[in-house]
A and B are shown apart, each in its own frame.
Chain A
Amino acid sequence: MIHFLPQRKNLVFFKNLLLRQIRQDYLENLTGFAWLIIQPLVLLAVYAFVFSKIFQARIPESGGVTFLPYLAVAFWPWAAFSESIIRASGSISGNSALIGKVAFAAELLPLASVSATFLMNAAGYLAVLVVLTLIGAPVHWLTLPLVIVLMLFWWLLAAAIALVVSTLQVFVKDVAQILPPMMTFWFFTTPIVYSAEVFPERISWLMNLNPAAWFVGWFRKLLLWGEWPSQWPILLVPVVIGIAFWLALRFFRRFAGHFEDFL
């Protein structure tokens, strides 16, 4: 039986884990809280320089949108996604002091890790959007509520993947080495630094099966053009991602009681 309704004590525990994770990963660095905003902006400046000055990258769609906002709006959600999965993949093996010593809902470990990364990146994303507006890019702030809703599903997808990879890493230690290049591969097969229209006709259907491509496309359409998504996948998103998460949670719980044997 899978219980979706979290118990009260699990909520308290989750909150603890989340705050600790944020503190550990972000706030206790020498550089402190300021980096949270500065780092994405520095990164943005680097990308702006590399792609628009060196590569002279252009995008097919126009409407007053230049390459920099086109990249930035897609890049931050991806960064949150990829970073959260990679960080969370070690959340079981990294917490062996808890696993096997006390009884608790172990799925909270990867979930808290993913959530912490998403929250921190959301702060950076907001900073980037503000800067884009200031430099004159057409950011459609009114679509923000829908962006947030989509972001929640984007987070849920990351959580589902994190549940599976953090389980796998307990059994197959090589996952820690395999995962980052796989995420890089996923990054380049997703239209983030380029436009989806560069795909040849023959394989574009295949590329459209990539959920990351859906989300990236929607974030761009909403924030830069203010267009509401009309493609069919958006109706499927809650269903597909909901099922994926449910399966991932079942998978995780099947193994959760055995982690200690393998750590």
Chain B
Amino acid sequence: MDTLARLENVSKIFPRVHRPGERLRAFASILTGSEPSDGAKVLSDINLEVFRGQSLGIIGENGAGKSTLLKVLTGVIQPTAGKVTLNAKVAPLLELGAGFQPEFSGLDNVRMKAAILGLDWDELKHKLDDILAFADIGEYIHEPVKHYSSGMVVRLGFAVVTAANPELLITDEVLAVGDESFQKKCIRWMSGFLERGGTLLMVSHSMYHVQRLCHRAIWLHNGSVRRSGDVEQVTQDYLAWHEQRSVAEKKQRAAVSGNDGHYRVAAVDLEGAADQDAELPVIEDQLRAEVGLYSPDGRMPVCLVGIERADGTPIYGISSDTDHICGAQYGEHQFRFRVEFSVSRLLPGRYHFKVHAMDPEAIRVCDTHDLSFQVRGKSEEFGLVRLPYRWLTSEEDASD
């Protein structure tokens, strides 16, 4: 396969540079080519390859080293160890304003940026109108960039990149800025770019964008690759890890405060799974669940149940307290609640069924438990749920 970029055993240590002595030591270590004696190790032993036509997403927590990785890859900073190979016409869009100098006019910065991206004067002359049209900032182009809004800066930066006609586009969460209509323009351009055979390397916290635009993904954790491979696999592992971590945090909190944790979720069973062999229970129309809650003092806990999307977005939830429902008591400490949801309106995808045990006063969530399930099917719709709708015909419009 055609490799556009390759990192081999790349590490990066940021030396300490606050006091003059530290700066001098760092200076000496670069001069002699040795590793800095102390500093922050941001990347350790990274190996990755980007293949033509196989867009790569980089995900991970804040501070995992994603942006540093992109900077090393694009050659903005040198790695402390390891080798970087680039085999493509690259256009980096690393951050807001990507290398614009605030004192100079927009036009001036466009010229400079285009030159850095490898456009010569003739090409730029041809494409300047396109760039200005894409950026759509009008007469502001003659003003210094420091007077621009952040949206205008991004628009201009992106416009130059579109003109450079790159093979590999490297972006760092840039699409999040800019107004709605510009974002759409970017997405449209990006889709066209991918269709024309372009390759994308993106850092993003939006699993939706990563899954939609990338084929493969890398999960960076504390500066090393935790997982890499197929985008679905990696993003799901990443989300699952987040989930576990937040559960672990909650458990920890509960253990510390001591008073919580009395009321527990003892058991959750999903009924109605259509395909028993599937990796996750497949729910078709009705989700039926039986929830067992444990109460240390024999008082009835409040049961809170609901459904959320795989990324944690809540969709719908109810509580036994507000609905004045009593669970069936078994023995001294066990209560059982049964509930049935109609999930036929959910769009295909992965969901969590979430159960919380609350104290009888419904003030504190004492325990949480969730089960994943999936809704299968094909859908051309967007969002989470189906809402009843109809298209209005033009006659109806006219009568309004």
In the complex, are the beta carbons of A260 and B77 less than 8 A apart? yes
Q: A68 to B220, alpha carbons, bound, how many Å?
A: 69
Chain A residues contacting B99 (CB-CB under 8 Å) are 97-98, 101-102
- Choose the segment among A5-13, A131-139, A145-153 that binds chain B (4+ C-beta atoms closer than 8 Å): A5-13
The stretch of B23-31, B326-334, B348-356 in contact with A is B23-31
| Shortest Cβ distance from B75 into A: residue | A103
**Is the beta-carbon distance between A97 and B100 smaller than 8 angstroms?**
yes
In the assembly, what is the distance between CA of A231 and CA of B38, in Å? 52
Q: Give residues of chain A (241-263) contacting chain B, Cβ–Cβ below 8 Å.
A: 254-258, 260-262
Q: Does A20 contact B (CB under 8 A)?
A: yes
In the bound complex, what is the Cα–Cα distance between A20 and B100 (angstroms)? 14
Contacts of A262 in B (CB 8 A): 17, 23, 26
Q: Does B88 contact A (CB under 8 A)?
A: no
User: In the bound complex, do residue B115 and residue A103 qualify as a contact, i.e. CB atoms below 8 Å apart?
Assistant: no
**Are A101 and B95 in contact (CB-based, < 8 A)?**
yes
Docked pose: A20 CA to B111 CA in angstroms:
10
Q: Restricting to A1-26, which residues have a CB under 8 Å from any CB of B? A: 8-9, 12-13, 15-17, 20
- A172 sits at the interface (CB 8 A): yes
List residues of chain B with CB within 8 A of the CB of A199.
none
Q: How many residues of B contact A (CB 8 A)?
A: 36
Residues of A within 8 A of B108 (CB): 20
A260 to B75: give the CA distance in the assembly, Å.
12
The CA-CA distance from A100 to B77 in the complex, in Å, is 7
Bits for B129-153, please: 1 = Cβ < 8 Å to A, else 0. Answer: 0000000000000000000000000
Does B112 touch A at the CB level, under 8 Å? yes
- On whether the beta carbons of A257 and B23 are closer than 8 Å, the reply is no
A9 partner residues in chain B, CB cutoff 8 A: 115-116, 118, 120
Whether, in the assembled complex, B15 has its beta carbon less than 8 Å from a beta carbon of chain A, the answer is yes
Contacts of A172 in B (CB 8 A): 20, 23-24, 27
- Taking a contact as CB atoms closer than 8 A, the residue among B77, B78, B104, B120 that contacts A12 in the complex is B120
* Contact, CB under 8 Å: A258 / B77: yes
**Nearest Cβ in chain A — how far from B157, in angstroms?**
10
Determine the chain A residues whose CB is within 8 A of the CB of B26 once the complex forms: 171, 258, 261-262
| A12 CA to B71 CA, complexed, in Å | 23
Give the contacts of A207-263 with B (CB-CB under 8 A).
Answer: 254-258, 260-262
| Binary flags per residue of B5-34, CB closer than 8 Å to A gives 1, else 0 | 000000000110100100110110011000
- List of B residues within 8 angstroms of A261 by Cβ: 14-15, 17, 26, 77
Q: Flag whether B76 is at the interface (Cβ < 8 A).
A: yes
Interface membership of B341, Cβ < 8 A = no
Check A184 for interface membership: any CB of B closer than 8 A.
Answer: no
Give CA–CA (A15, B119) in the complex, Å: 13
The answer on a CB contact under 8 Å between A100 and B23 is no
Name the one of A12, A98, A100 contacting B101, with C-beta atoms under 8 angstroms: A98
Asked whether, in the complex, the Cβ of A16 is within 8 Å of the Cβ of B71, the reply is no
A9-B118, A13-B112 are known contacts. Are A102 and B14 too (CB-CB below 8 A)?
no
With A9-B115, A102-B92, A103-B92 already in contact, the answer to whether A20 and B104 are too (CB < 8 A) is: yes
Contacts of B101 in A (CB 8 A): 95, 97-98
Within 8 Å CB of A257, what residues of B? 75, 77-78
Query: Is the beta-carbon distance between B23 and A8 smaller than 8 angstroms?
Result: no
**Given the complex of chains A and B, what is the CA–CA distance between A262 and B100 in angstroms?**
20
A101-B97, A103-B92 are known contacts; what are 5 more A-B pairs with Cβ within 8 Å?
A: A12-B121, A13-B112, A102-B116, A103-B74, A262-B17
- 23 pairs, CB–CB < 8 Å, chain A vs chain B: A12-B119, A12-B120, A13-B112, A13-B116, A15-B115, A16-B115, A95-B101, A97-B100, A97-B101, A98-B101, A100-B76, A100-B77, A101-B94, A101-B99, A102-B98, A104-B116, A172-B23, A172-B24, A255-B27, A257-B75, A258-B26, A260-B77, A261-B14
Residues on A lying within 8 angstroms of B by beta carbon are 8-9, 12-13, 15-17, 20, 95, 97-98, 100-104, 171-172, 254-258, 260-262
